[in-house]
Amino acid sequence: MPIEVISAGIMTTIQDLGRPGFYHLGIPMGGAMDRFALRTANLLVGNDEGAAGLESAFLGPELEFTEDATVAVCGAELPPRIDGEQMPTWTALGVRKGQVVSFDFLESGARAYIAVSGGIDTPPALGSRSTYPIGALGGVDGRAVQPGDSLPLGAASGTARPGKSVPDALRRLPGSSAELRVLPGLYWHRITEGAQQGFFDDTWMVANEADRMGYRFKGGRQLEFVPREQPYSAGSNPSNITDACYPYGSIQVPNGTEPIVLHRDAVSGGGYFMLGTVVSADMDLIGQLQPNTPTRFARVAMDVALAARRDRSAMLDRIRETTA
């Protein structure tokens, strides 16, 4: 039985944990920008962690339920209402047939994850329901959710217990400023030592061009390049390279001006040098940054990146225990 979409917010898409395996053909893995939040929301409503839910950026949708269900909203602080009554985030909420779920204005973060018991059951494309609008894959006919859509639900597990919530200590909320840990590499050698230092010293601001493909940052100093004769086919700008693959989380700086961190819907390659890569443990956080958030990049080594990854994984284990 479906959920009827009354309004869709600014950008609400169906997302799960993505479709790895096709990046070599320019099809990115996609999936929830904040995977931790989607997994948590799914656990609260008794779903598999990878079930498809809604990712709403900045403004929530309005949804009418045509059957009883359990709902949870995690990630950004986007407080839900059920038939107008205010409800908590990070909590399993019982919704009855005919009720409408709506949202207050965003209080913090950027993307809320709305999980529904049974999961959204639109047809998968290449093994995932995640919406990739550029390639017209997943979601509803390959696009974002629109008013008038009916979103089918899968069979609920029956294990959801409305009222269950995630303890405050385990909620991951973005602060008023952010730090992203970066492993220098890739074409790091293309910029001068001064520029390398400056990149980490400066405070950058999230620019308005911040979406599922990538996050742009502005306000830091222009990067200076090590002079060289440009290699054949690389293009004339010193920030150009022979077109190559782009890692998820890699930081390209076209013309040395504004860094762009590629995210889940990344373009798979292109001709800009990259100075390093945001560690995997901090990728979720990027999806919660609002434009104009002051951001510092922190230089780390591989052992720190791996330790951070283990910490994230341990935190998710605790969520699994508390929601079991």
Partner 1 sequence: MSRFTFGGDEHIFVEVDEAMSLEAFFTSLSMTNAVRAAGIDGVTEICPANASFQIKFDPDRIHPHALMDRLRLLEEEAGNAEAKLDTRIIEVPVFYQDPWTHETLMRFRERHQDPEGTDLEFAARINGYETVEAFIEAHAGAPWFVSMVGFVSGLPFLYQMVDRSRQIQVPKYLRPRTDTPKQTVGYGGSFSCIYSVRGAGGYQMFGITPMTIYDPRQEVPYLKDFMVFFRPGDIVKWRPIGRTEYDRIIEDMQAGRFEPRMRYVVFSLDDFNADLDGTNARLMEALYAD
183 sits near partner 1 (criterion: CB under 8 A): yes
DSSP 235-297: -SSTTEEEEEE--TTEEE-GGGTS-EEE-TT--SEEEE-EEEEE-GGGHHHHTTPPTT-EEEE
Using CA atoms, how far apart are residues 289 and 174, in angstroms rounded to an integer?
A: 7
24 sits near partner 1 (criterion: CB under 8 A): yes
Using CA atoms, how far apart are residues 1 and 234, in angstroms rounded to an integer?
A: 53
The minimum distance between CB 229 and partner 1, in angstroms, equals 10
Among 94, 142, 154, 294, binds partner 1 (CB under 8 A): 142
207 sits near partner 1 (criterion: CB under 8 A): no
The minimum distance between CB 29 and partner 1, in angstroms, equals 8
Segment contacting partner 1 by CB under 8 A, of 2-10, 55-63, 150-158, 299-307 = 299-307
27 sits near partner 1 (criterion: CB under 8 A): yes
208 sits near partner 1 (criterion: CB under 8 A): no
Residue type, 291: P
20 sits near partner 1 (criterion: CB under 8 A): yes
Return the residues of window 71-110 that contact partner 1 according to CB under 8 A: none
**Considering CB under 8 A, how many residues would be counted as binding partner 1?**
50
305 sits near partner 1 (criterion: CB under 8 A): yes
DSSP 139-176: TBTTB---TT-EE-B----S---TT-B--GGG-----S
Segment contacting partner 1 by CB under 8 A, of 35-43, 60-68, 86-94, 277-285 = 277-285
Using CA atoms, how far apart are residues 323 and 171, in angstroms rounded to an integer?
A: 13
> What are the φ/ψ torsions at residue 112 (nearest 5 degrees)?
-100, 145
Using CA atoms, how far apart are residues 283 and 3, in angstroms rounded to an integer?
A: 30
123 sits near partner 1 (criterion: CB under 8 A): no
**Could you tell me the CA-to-CA distances from 260 to 3, 208, 243, 276, 297 in Å, in that order?**
36, 12, 16, 11, 12
Residue 68's CB is within 10 A of a number of other CB atoms, namely 14
The minimum distance between CB 211 and partner 1, in angstroms, equals 13
Segment contacting partner 1 by CB under 8 A, of 40-48, 50-58, 196-204, 301-309 = 301-309
Q: Is the dihedral of CA 21, 14, 259, 74 positive or negative?
A: negative
Segment contacting partner 1 by CB under 8 A, of 62-70, 201-209, 274-282, 285-293 = 274-282
Q: Rg of the chain's alpha carbons, rounded to an integer? A: 20
Using CA atoms, how far apart are residues 141 and 131, in angstroms rounded to an integer?
A: 9
Among 279, 285, 286, 289, binds partner 1 (CB under 8 A): 279
Helix/strand/coil for 73: strand
The minimum distance between CB 273 and partner 1, in angstroms, equals 11
203 sits near partner 1 (criterion: CB under 8 A): no
For 49, which DSSP code? Answer: T
Return the residues of window 214-273 that contact partner 1 according to CB under 8 A: 231-236, 241-245, 247-250, 267-271
Question: Which residues of this protein are in contact with partner 1, per CB under 8 A?
Answer: 20-27, 125-126, 134-137, 142, 183, 185-186, 188, 231-236, 241-245, 247-250, 267-271, 274, 276-280, 302, 305-306, 309, 313
